[in-house]
Structure 1
Amino acid sequence: MDRNRFFKVFLLPLYLGLVLFAASLTPSLIPRGWLVQGILGGLVAALGYMIGRFLLSLWHAIELPVLRGRAATIAHLLTGLPAAAFLVFCLAHARNWQNGIRSRMGMDLIDSVDVPNMVLVALAVFTVLMIAGALVQWAFDRLRAWLYLHMPRRTADMAGLLLVTLALLLVTRDGVLDRVIRGLDRSYTAAQDLFDTAPPPPANPRTPGAAASLIDWGAMGQPGRNFVTQGPDAEDIAAFSGRSALDPIRVYVGLAEAETAQVRADRALAELLRLGAFERKVLIVAMPTGTGWLDPGSFDVVEYMHGGDIASVAVQYSYLQSPMALLLETQAGLEQARTLIGTVHGHWRSLPPDSRPRLYIHGLSLGAWASMYGTDLFALLDNPIHGALWAGPPFPSARWHEAMAERDPASPYVAPRVGEGRLIRFASHTQDAGGSRGWGDMRLLFLQYSSDPIVFYEPSSVWRAPAWMGEPPAADVSPDLRFTPVVTQFQLVADMILATSAPEGHGHSYYARDYIGPWVAVTDPEGWTADDSARLAAHCNNGFQHGCDNG
């Protein structure tokens, strides 16, 4: 192979890889440290190189003219120098770009992005991916050479490509990936402290999991035990309100309670009946995040609002972290949501309308997605629920997309308005929920932060800018954020992984104080005033623990 041909095959793709690496340094929604930036940069650089190789192969395959000699050298200089200049420009601005996001989120500014270490990590990732690609190419070439002995060349090329692709899918799906999934599932199951490793059950007979309870304490898992034993009691609520209060009812059924979603839902209903939950003024059916975690900041504030005259119920459907559960146990969460909501709603609708509690649906993150799916509005037409609050709805949520499709085009994409706000409203850390007036018979509210990549990620961002990028940036979004094909896709994926590392009130870290307005708007607490909301917000800051989605 002559020198010019070597450059044509390898150097131009390398320039494209460097350009994508440089573009990955631009800001996205969540601040990145040098390690994550290095991994991201190495990945997109390898993708750029691969895309460049593919384009060169296509160029040669269709026999387009090829530059040689001095013309080729000049062409490489004309493409390489701008790529190098762009890389230097991006490296010089990387610190300011990251600080631009950090300052808008109230974070400490950084002195450096640690370019040497970041570049070393990127080179390591790039090298590993290149070696993996070379091994795949070697396997393809060996297989293709063997197939040439038995079939025409074009048929052998296609058959070799299909066989290598199939082999890669089998190895990753049924080999490495399956082992990783099983390992994660075992580790998260162990972290739940199930059965023999569970702490002693509570003595209070009105606590789920106690001796008098219908729910197994050992099967509940750590997230469930925290949910039913923590949070304000009647004394805490009375001290805040200055009026008498009740102990809120919290019911939780763990995944290990039973084999099927229906049995777990039936146990939850039976425990609600045992504790008199349907005699309370408010009943909330909630779905947890992937590991079974429920945000205490959401439940604490709504229990204060209603003087403890409230019951909440949730059922676990997974042990995996939410992103893994979303990809690998999608159906389990959807089935459990529909079963639980249908079971509770079925009993609720059998009760006299004037003596049953107001019924609401709630969920955060993956719990929001599952509970939206489980809320069958057609089944509720004759006996509708009173409302729902969905926080941080993940981007695949069909009901969220339906609501967004009805938004007023003049309203911001990240803070939309839908009609007159009688059925659907959106709220955020910068947009009020609109209070309890002006609603229709049902109240559906989405709480979402403008910098939350779990909400605003779009799979099509690999080739097309998301709609929100075409609007003026929100208060906590960098004005330097720009769309780059391929790169933006992977920046947003990295943002999703880092989403809960953002400070409270940004990214996917939902803050107790930001639930107050939405819960007031949706549940309309009796006698509640704006001064009460302000006092509760101060109590959030100084009193009980706020939550963030670490599920």
Structure 2
Amino acid sequence: MTAVLERDDPSAPTPTTTDTRRLRVRLRGYARRLHPVGLATALLFFTWSMSPSLLPRVWYLQGVATGISVALGYGLGCAGAWLVRSCGVTPRWSARTRRIGWWLLGVAAAVLVPVFLVLGAVWQNHIRDLVSVEQTNEANVLLVFAIAVAVWFVLLAAARGIRSGTRRVSAFVGRFVPRPAANVTGLVIAVVLGVLLVNGALYNGLVAFANWTFSGADHDTAPGVVAPTAPERSGSPASAQAWDTLGKEGRTFVGMGPDAAAITAVTGRPAIEPIRVYAGREAADTVAGVADEVVAELDRTHAWERKVLAVNTTTGRGWVNQDVASSLEYLEGGDTAIASMQYSFLPSPLAFIADRETPQVAGRALFNAVFARWIDLPTDSRPKLVVFGESLGSYGGQNAFAGYQDMATRVDGGLWVGTPNFTPQWQEVTADRDPGSSEIRPVVDAGRSVRFAADPVDLDLGTEWGPRRIVYWQHASDPIVWWSPSLLLNEPDWLTEPRGRDVDPDMRWLPLVTFWQVTLDMVFSADVPAGHGHAYGPEAAQMWAQILPTDGWTRADTERVQAALTDTGE
């Protein structure tokens, strides 16, 4: 009876009320553990994180970028306060002063957070206008804030967990050695474990496992792609490379592209059937073995008798940019042979992060295998030798050369598209740019053999261009080109120079923050219209027309090819 009366008493606490009070107590306890200096620095990083970057970000990626930035700011603030205490400076603030400080911090947050959420949305829509992307609802800022807070708490909990684990290791070791030595031991163990996770056997095992896992998904065929019947294509009945061994991207490469009739219809000139040869990763046990299979396909198709022979290094699972490949075939009337191969089962984003060695091995193996056969041909009858590749393909393909001067000596032309910033040859040629030229569009040796372009008109430097022409095609808004770990602590030249035409002029370098902004820009870097970000399309026709000029070919011819590529959506 007493229990019943107590439950009926309005003043008696209900289970819901008790749970709410417990939650409040826990939140207050958690809040008291937060350092005010860390929070103040986190607030500063929050405002920075909303600033414009290279490309527009969807609301959830903006939330992740902001959450990471806030966590970094909080960590730096706490580290700074710890450093001050370690130097023997321990301020003794009165209770009243602390209350005032907390109130000021709270007021600053109440003002700055909503203001910069709205400003961030405005800046993002401005970037969308620059890259011709539809604007989004600015109300998403509330979701941005929620995700940012969640990411911050997760990272904070992870950092505290690592700290707690390190302290436990130190306490255990402290039973046997002096305390200072125990602390150092705990830190060393934590660092060693981190290194093993990134570069050790576990890392290599995970890469191998990922390759094996994605190999099972490589047997699909893209919609609308069918096996070729022309003998000039790998995967045809005449080819030694079976259709089902080429991989999904390999089947797309040989199953698409213009035939002789399509080329004639667009250019109005007689054409022959273009050659496209390809070997999948399953063709041999080693990457070098796959390259040998490609050369055997070149032999079978009599590719050495064509006017132009192109060597392409693919990305990830073997993708080839159809616009770049097809435009070359249109411009040369089909009198071409394009050689390519698959070297990995990893999707490009994963390969970009996890495996940068295999693209280099593949690029070197394929080019050297082709070059060894090509160099023995009579000089007056062998085809022009050109190279091309995009993203990881550009990175891997350039590894066949000691540098840009070696490249300009050994090939007749090259088109490197969206080259990653960590490519050694790109770094060399960019660093060697002529004084006064910019990083986003370097001029090297007055453009005699190598030129950079975001737009085809950039290739016109008003100076003599030699017969061997190498083009680096890179958009000012392409995060693949500009992402680098050095962004963490160093301002790059491309952010001290006038911005590119599709980059917000208000973009500024911010320590730590810009690195994570550009990192997340890469996630959807190709999901923008061609001409921006990492989307390189029909303008490839204008690039090839400059690299391999042909007598009688006109600007109108190039425009027809570009229109055909746009219509077919290649």
TM-score by length of 1: 0.91
Moved more, 77-86 or 394-403: 77-86
Match of 1:29 in 2: 54
Cα deviation, 1:290-343, whole Å, max 9, x if unaligned, reads 121000011111111010001100121112122322332222111111111111
Q: Is residue 48 of structure 2 the alignment partner of residue 41 of structure 1?
A: no
Written as runs of structure 1 = structure 2, the 5 A alignment for 1:311-326 is 311-326=337-352
Percent sequence identity is 33
Structure 1 position 521, deviation (Å): 1.4
Distance 1:379 1:452, change over 3 A: closer
1:123 deviates by: 1.8
1:127 paired with 2:153, answer yes
Counterpart mapping for 1:155-234 below 5 A: 155-170=181-196, 181=207, 184-193=210-219, 202-234=228-260
How many Å separate the matches in 2 of 1:9 and 1:413?
A: 42
Shifted more, 446-455 versus 157-166: the winner is 157-166
Within a 5 Å distance, the mapping from 1:404-443 to structure 2 comes to 404-429=430-455, 431-434=457-460, 438-443=464-469
Aligned residue number for residue 56 of structure 1:
81
- Aligned residues between the structures: 539
- Matches of residues 277-316 of structure 1 in structure 2 within 5 Å? 277-316=303-342
Instruction: State the Cα deviation string for residues 76-121 of structure 1 (Å, max 9, x = none).
Output: 5566655554433311211210011001111112231512222221
1: CA distance between counterparts of 2:547 and 2:318?
A: 24
Aligned-pair distance for 1:516?
Answer: 1.8
Give the aligned CA root-mean-square deviation in angstroms: 2.8
Provide closer, same or farther for how the CA distance between residues 523 and 125 of structure 1 changes in structure 2, counting only shifts above 3 A.
Answer: same
Partner of 1:384: 410
Partners in 1 of 2:268 and 2:45 — Cα distance? 60
Deviates more, 1:127-136 or 1:27-36: 127-136
The question of whether the paired residues in 1 share the 8 Å contact of 2:446 and 2:463 is answered with: no
**TM-fit CA distance, 1:451:** 0.4
Structure 1 residue 187, shift from structure 2 partner: 4.8
Q: For residue 549 of structure 1, what is the aligned residue in structure 2?
A: none
* Distance in 2 (alpha carbons) for counterparts of 1:452 and 1:300: 23
The equivalent of 2:569 in structure 1 is 545
Q: What is the alpha-carbon distance in structure 1 between the residues aligned to residue 142 and residue 332 of structure 2?
A: 55
1:10 and 2:35 are equivalent in the alignment? yes
Instruction: Check whether the contact 1:433–1:517 (CA below 8 A) recurs between aligned residues.
Output: no
Counterpart of 2:423 in structure 1: which amino acid? S
- After superposition, the Cα gap between the structure-2 partners of 1:299 and 1:101, relative to the gap in structure 1 and judged at 3 Å, is same
Q: How far apart are residue 73 of structure 1 and its match?
A: 4.5
What one-letter code is carried by the residue in structure 1 that aligns with 2:544?
W
Alignment of 1:450-489 (within 5 A): 450-489=476-515
Residue aligning to 1:344: 370
Deviation at 1:523, TM superposition (A): 1.5
CA contact (8 A) 2:434 2:443 kept: yes
* SS of alignment partner, residue 536 of structure 2: coil
Structure 1 residue 224: deviation in Å? 0.6
For residues 178-204 of structure 1, the C-alpha deviation after alignment (integer angstroms, 9 at most, x for no partner) is: 786466434532332079xxx985444
Specify the SS of the correspondent of 1:500.
coil
Normalised by the size of structure 2, how large is the TM-score?
0.88
Larger CA Rg, structure 1 vs 2: 2
Cα 1:76–1:460 shift into 2, 3 Å? farther
The structural deviation recorded for 1:354 is 0.8
1:518 aligns with 2:543: yes
TM-aligned CA distance change 1:436 to 1:253, over 3 Å = farther
Structure 2 counterpart of 1:541, one-letter code: T
Cα distance, 1:228–1:437 mapped onto 2, change above 3 Å: farther
For 1:21 and 1:100, how far apart are their aligned partners in 2? Answer: 20
Q: 1:355 is matched with which residue?
A: 381
* CA–CA distance in structure 2, aligned partners of residues 200 and 323 of structure 1: 27
Does structure 2 conserve the Cα–Cα contact (< 8 Å) formed by 1:9 and 1:53?
no
Please say if residues 232 and 273 of structure 2, whose CA atoms lie closer than 8 Å, have aligned partners that are also in contact.
Answer: no
SS at 2:410's partner residue?
coil
- Contact map agreement 2:196 2:203 (CA 8 A) in 1: no
Closer/same/farther in 2, CA of residues 228 and 81 from structure 1, 3 Å limit: same
CA distance in 2, matches of 1:380, 1:49: 48
Verify the 8 A CA contact 2:327 2:541 in the aligned structure 1: yes
**2:246/2:280 contact within 8 Å kept:** yes
| 2:530–2:537 CA contact under 8 A, matched in 1 | yes
Return the alpha-carbon distance in structure 2 between the equivalents of residues 468 and 382 of structure 1: 26
What code does the residue aligned with 1:36 have?
A: L
Is the partner of 1:192 in helix, strand or coil? helix
Aligned-pair CA distance for 1:212: 2.7
Which is worse superposed, 378-387 or 212-221?
378-387
**2:16 match:** none
More deviation in 458-467 or 390-399? 458-467
How far apart, CA to CA, are the structure 2 residues paired with 1:482 and 1:381?
Answer: 35
What is the CA distance between 1:437 and its match in structure 2?
8.6
8 Å contact kept, 2:43–2:70: yes
Residues 531, 324 of structure 1: alpha-carbon distance in 2 compared, 3 angstrom cutoff: same
**Per-residue CA distance 1:336-367 (angstroms, 9 max, x = gap):** 11111111111111011111100001101110
Note closer, same or farther for the CA distance 1:516–1:430 as it changes in structure 2 (3 Å cut). Answer: closer
Shift of 1:489: 0.8
Kept in 2, the 8 Å contact 1:436–1:521? The answer is no
Contact residue 228 and residue 254 of structure 2 kept, 8 A: no
